[in-house]
Amino acid sequence: MVTLRVVAGVAVVAISIMAPASGAGAESLRVDFTGALFAQAPPDGSEAALQTATAGPKPKFGEKDSWRWMLQVGGAFEVRDSDNRFMLLGGGVSYFITDDLSLDLELNGMYFDQNGDDAFGVNIALLLRWHFVARDTWSIYLDGGAGVLETTRKVPGSSPQEPDGGSRFNFTPQAGGGFTLALDEHTRFFAGIRWYHISNAQLFEDNPGRDHIYLYAGVSLPF
């Protein structure tokens, strides 16, 4: 026997199989299979009610144990010589280890327009970001961390002051702050400014290092 019924806006099929008795006094065996086939729109046509029936709500921005992914773009100039610049395009993930405090892992592609040979690079960075002012639709944060950078040419490049330049492998300590702004229920725009340092921490003979003012912006969304 097959029956169809609607429970809380969900169409449910119930299938009952009756096995005949095999002997005198034996009881029949009944096996039931029930499954949800599809969610139908509630009588009032409310999309919100339908979403509640089929999926749970997304976590609130900044909620503990929530995850977000992000895309970003930025640019920087060296403090001592503005002719040394870099541009950045990348993305990453954020995990809120507690309310309004996230651990951010970034993967960025970089281009260095500099004295000497220009260079391309890949940067991986780990940052801690604290939204010390957190409201429903906006926040202000401080962040900081460090990463590693591998480039196709030496960074910094060669110059009259540093004829040998820097190195192809460097570290990238950085710190700064910024803000987020809700674009809709789930999407956040963010922008900020950081001090961004590049050097090899004396791993190589030459370590001229560079300090930058870094400006960036992007969007983040929940998983």
Residue 61 lies in a domain: no
Mean pLDDT of the 56-62 span: 85
- Same domain for 76 and 158? yes
- Assess if residue 62 is contained within a domain: no
pLDDT higher than 70, residue 20: no
Q: Is the pLDDT of residue 26 over 70?
A: no
- The model's pTM is 0.74
Read off the pLDDT band of 39 (50, 70, 90). Answer: very low
Q: What pLDDT is recorded for position 212?
A: 96
Residue type, 4: L
The H or E element spanning position 104 is strand 101-113
CA distance 102 to 175: 15
User: pLDDT, tens digit, for every residue of 106-149?
Assistant: 999 999 999 889 999 999 999 999 999 999 999 999 999 999 99
Q: What is the average pLDDT value for the chain, to the nearest integer?
A: 83
117 and 197 housed in the same domain: yes
The answer to whether position 29 is within a domain reads yes
Give the number of domains in the chain.
Answer: 2
Domain that holds residue 30: 2-54
DSSP symbols for 49-81:
HHHHHHSPPPPPTT-TT-EEEEEEEEEEEESS-
